[in-house]
Structure 1
Amino acid sequence: MVRLSAVSLLALVGILSLTQTAVHAKQHVFEVVDSATICSTDATGEQSCYPRMFVATDEFQVIKPGQDIPPGLHVQIDMQTGLRMARLMPADDKDENGLALVSDTRIVKDVEEEEEEEENKDTRPPAQTYPHSEKLQEYIDRLVAVAGAPVDRTQTDGTLQVLGELEELVHETRHADQLLHDTHALPALLRLSSPTHTPVPWPSSVRRLSSVVLGAAVQNNHRLQAIAYNAGAIPSLLRSMVDETDLRTTGKHIFALSALVRGHGAALVQFAELGGLRMLRELNPIAVAVNDDNEYEARRLDVRVVRFVEDLFNPEFNPDVPRDQASMLAQNAAAWCETLATRLVDALGDVENEKPVALSAYSRRSTYAQALQSLKAAYPSTCKLPQDFSQWVQDEIARVPKTGDESAEEYRLALTELAY
């Protein structure tokens, strides 16, 4: 058994991710559906969806493909199979982060050495430190060439193939690092994702996957977030989000923005200063749905927006916001409290079970109520709810049936917390 700090745990999991990916790459293909959900397809074609954030208990559980691992857990990794499992730390070890390595501990650094490196780390993104991948560079060069040439829709399939390869590769930190340190790659992705690229944009499938590649590359990596932030990715993606005509693709632009902003204080401030929170309020995808399929995508996008907003106002995900920006965020929180309350009251029935990623009848309402409760808790003096909202909440609690539906129970709990 080896005990590591939180810094060491994250570093080690990043190093070991190559092992797990090599073992499971041919068994699972997973897609980040939104900021809270992942869907995985195994070798038989069977799909399962589960939370993006791993939820730990006192017993070891398997960490599913693509799941994020919160700090402070006891993580067990089998170096032979790449299988990862985690549980809550025992009560007598709460001040530590544990890691048990099965069969190989040679890559573990000394804890003090790891912490000293972290404390002395340059705040600027460091130069590339991973082995250079010629295969990845081939895909990057092809990407840059396509993005720099006039749009040729006969090349759509080839472009999607390149983007698909990149999306699979950048889940490994060493590949994401190489992609973001290529000075031509990020501008190429932003051009491909733009719905206003002149004289004509790429098809929505290309725009969508370009944003997925960018988001997958920078998520949970402060160094790579900083590179994208300094290169102007946030204003570019905001324009794409506002101008996008395809609802599903809009969701992927929001995924990329979420990956850039989450946990990066300067990026959050820029996002807010550029009007990002106002732009999200103005999207209101439900209002533009015109048919059944469009309505389904609109509801998925609506949930994605609300979850993104909840993350934006969560101090845990966005530390180090300058004090002089606090009032701006508080004002935005007030506006969003009113918006969420109004839309919650006006919410229609949710997506039924005939779709691939089914949502229960209370899933969307639950998302609204949870986000509103989070904003109220974080900004108690700013988040003022409508005068008659309290009575509506009481009536709604009584109306929700006790059926054992998980989303209904989550909805009732969030409403109960809103009532106090």
Structure 2
Amino acid sequence: MRLGSSRATGASPSCLTLSVLLLLHCRHVASTLGQKSALTVVENTEGGGGGVEEEEVTVDNDDEEGDLEVVHPTEEWQTLRPGQAVPAGSHVRLNLQTGQREVRLGEEQLKYWTQEHWEEEEIQSSVSPEELKQAMKKIKEDLNTASKDTDQQYRPLEELKRDMAQLDLLVETDVQIMKRLLEQLNSSSSTTEQKMSILLELEYLVHQVDNAQTLCSMGGLQLILQGLNSSDFRLQESSAFVLGSALSSNPVVQVKAVERGALQMLLTVLATTQPVRVKKKVLFAVASLLRHFPYAQRHFLSHGGLQVLSELFREDGGGVLRTRIVTMLYDMISEKELIFHAGLDPGLDASYEERLRQYAQVSLQGELLEKGWCNLVPQLLESTEHDYREKALRALLAMAPTCLEQYRSDSFLLDSLFSLRDQYQEMVQSEMILGEENYYFAEIVELIDALQVKIK
């Protein structure tokens, strides 16, 4: 309890004694309330024409008594009757002139206590203990019922199958879907648009290694290859896309595709006049067929694959096909170098010796030199695309052991390297000044430096 000292001057001892007794009485009264309240005492001063001064006393009591009638205070002072309680935070005072207790809203309540809250309090206070017990009993019964319903949801598999059969539901596996799609693709009644939609669905399915192998066993590979010979370039594009996805990282499909003559068909499409969009997908299929497959790479070289790519490289002015071609050549060179420098123990890897033997039969570097690729690849540096330049630089570094003499006599390449280095070094410096970190441009500078060192 905080009791403020009187500021009235000249108060008689008897008046002070009466005030203290009244305060103690008010404290006893406030302790019967089940809520926290603020008590304000109003006393008369002995001078000043009957004026009053208020001194505030805060009384805290958290003990719960019996049921009391709760008074809802307002902004104005109102009289409290015996047996009435007030909400927490209310201001309560004892008027010494009337001898009545009075209450009004506290400062925090003025912001919070509204008619809506009064109604909620009335509703909450109207719930009796017996009603509360019944409500809790009802909750337990509902929980038990829900638990029984949940147990009933786990039904035997055979029973579920019977129910599904009665509903005439069709659940297809990937194998069943591919079988249905291949039948539709082979149907003479299917339109071009329908076949394109079928090929799109197949392309999604063959990303799964097992699905791609199953497609081959169903005869789907032959239907896809037939699509490459279609007179409609849209079917050629879609068929090449499905083939490339099925070949990716799938040795079983790679072998079957080579056995079915897929490599010759793909090179034929590249050698004929076709839209760029078709040749992009065909190049994707060729790269997927050759990757990590030295047997196919050897047949690619023996069937004039590099000659076909060199003509395609010269015809491409936009650089899109050039980049794909250079990337494919770089991958072939890199994987051969990796297998020869892997240093694996033949005793631990039984296939290592066989892979070495097959890669040794792929005379890629000699073919690159003979077909003029040492002078073709530098032309990709003319592109304004950073990605194209990066791929060209990586390929030039991989080809350096074979093409070093051609590099040294190629004035275009030497001038391009000096110019590009200044350009990218300037970009790196600018980004450092701006506080940005772009390791990509710095990496390109490192590639240029490495190539210049080899040429010197």
Question: Higher relative contact order at CA 8 Å, sep ≥6: structure 1 or structure 2?
Answer: 1
1:410 alignment counterpart: 443
Partner of 1:307: 327
Which residue matches 1:186? 221
Alignment-derived partner of residue 339 in structure 1: 376
Q: Is the 8 A contact 1:284 1:302 kept in 2?
A: yes
- Asked whether the equivalents of residues 277 and 332 of structure 1 are also in contact (C-alpha less than 8 Å), the reply is yes
2:402 matches 1:365: no
Find the counterpart in structure 2 of residue 396 from structure 1.
420
Q: Secondary structure at the match of 2:187?
A: helix
Q: How does 1:276-287 map to 2 (within 5 A)?
A: 276-284=305-313, 287=315
The higher radius of gyration belongs to 2
Q: Would you say the 8 A contact 2:319–2:383 is kept in 1?
A: no
Mapped contact 1:333–1:382 kept (Cα < 8 A)? no
Partner residue, 1:160: 196
Q: Is the 8 A contact 2:294 2:359 kept in 1?
A: no
In structure 2, give the amino acid aligned to 1:313.
Answer: I
Q: CA deviation at 1:241?
A: 1.5
Amino acid of the residue matched to residue 340 of structure 1? V
Q: Which residue of 1 aligns with 2:254?
A: 225
Corresponding position of 2:134: none
After superposition, where does 1:237-252 map in structure 2 within 5 Å? 237-252=266-281
Aligned to 1:100: none
What is the distance in 1 between the residues matched to 2:201 and 2:174? 16
Q: How does 1:177-216 map to 2 (within 5 A)?
A: 177-183=213-219, 185-194=220-229, 197=230, 201-202=231-232, 204-216=233-245
Change (3 A) 1:144 1:320: farther
In 1, the alpha carbon distance for the partners of 2:234 and 2:440 equals 31
Partner of 1:67: none
The gaps in structure 1 that reach 5 residues or longer are 1-130, 290-297, 351-361
Asked whether the equivalents of residues 316 and 322 of structure 2 are also in contact (C-alpha less than 8 Å), the reply is no
Give, in angstroms, the shift of residue 384 of structure 1: 3.6
Aligned pairs for 1:110-149 (under 5 A) are 133-145=175-187
Query: Which residue identity lines up with residue 336 of structure 1 in the other structure?
Result: W
Q: Please, which of 375, 386, 399 is the counterpart of residue 375 of structure 1?
A: 399
Cα RMSD between the aligned structures? 2.7
* 1:351-362 correspondence runs (5 A): 362=386
Counterpart AA for 1:397: R
Do the aligned residues in 2 keep the contact of 1:211 with 1:253 (CA within 8 Å)? yes
Aligned equivalents of 1:372 and 1:244: distance in 2?
A: 29
Q: What is aligned with 1:118?
A: none
1:415: Cα distance to partner? 1.1
Task: Return closer, same or farther for 1:159/1:132 CA change in 2, 3 Å cut-off.
Answer: closer
Equivalent of residue 361 in structure 2, options 311, 325, 331: 325
- The separation in 2 between residues aligned to 1:242 and 1:317, in whole angstroms, is 31
Say how many residue pairs are matched: 252
In the alignment, the residues of structure 2 paired with residue 167 and residue 135 of structure 1 have an alpha-carbon distance, to the nearest angstrom, of: 13
CA distance in structure 1 between the aligned counterparts of 2:247 and 2:332, rounded to whole angstroms: 17
Seq. identity, %: 21
Partner Cα separation in structure 2 for residue 144 and residue 267 of structure 1? 28
1:36-95 Cα offsets, whole Å, 9 max, x none, are: xxxxxxxxxxxxxxxxxxxxxxxxxxxxxxxxxxxxxxxxxxxxxxxxxxxxxxxxxxxx
Q: Which residue of 2 aligns with 1:169?
A: 205
CA distance in 2, matches of 1:410, 1:416: 10
Cα deviation 1:383-405 (Å, max 9, x = unaligned): 74242344642343123332455
Question: Residues of 1 paired with 2:419 and 2:390: CA distance?
Answer: 16
The alpha-carbon distance between structure 1 residues 348 and 283, as it changes in their structure 2 partners (threshold 3 A), is same
TM-score (norm 1): 0.55
So what's the TM-score if we normalise by structure 2? 0.51
Equivalents in 2 of 1:177, 1:415: separation in Å? 43
1:269 is the counterpart of 2:298: yes
Partner-residue secondary structure (3-state), 1:370? helix
User: How far, CA to CA, are the matches of 2:367 and 2:289 in structure 1?
Assistant: 19
**In structure 2, distance between residues paired with 1:158 and 1:367:** 38
Q: Tell me by how many angstroms 1:330 deviates.
A: 2.2
CA apart distance, 1:299: 2.7
Amino acid at match of 1:142: Q
Q: Point out the structure with the larger helix share.
A: 2
Amino acid at match of 2:177: K
Distance 1:364 1:168, change over 3 A: same
The AA in structure 1 aligned to 2:449 is T
CA distance in 1: counterparts of 2:357 and 2:183, whole angstroms: 37
Contact 2:313 2:325 survives alignment (8 Å): no
Deviation of 1:316 after TM superposition, in Å, equals 5.5
How many angstroms apart in 2 are the aligned matches of 1:260 and 1:268? Answer: 9
Deviations 1:86-143 (A, max 9, x none): xxxxxxxxxxxxxxxxxxxxxxxxxxxxxxxxxxxxxxxxxxxxx9812211112222
CA shift in 2, pair 1:259/1:158, >3 Å: same
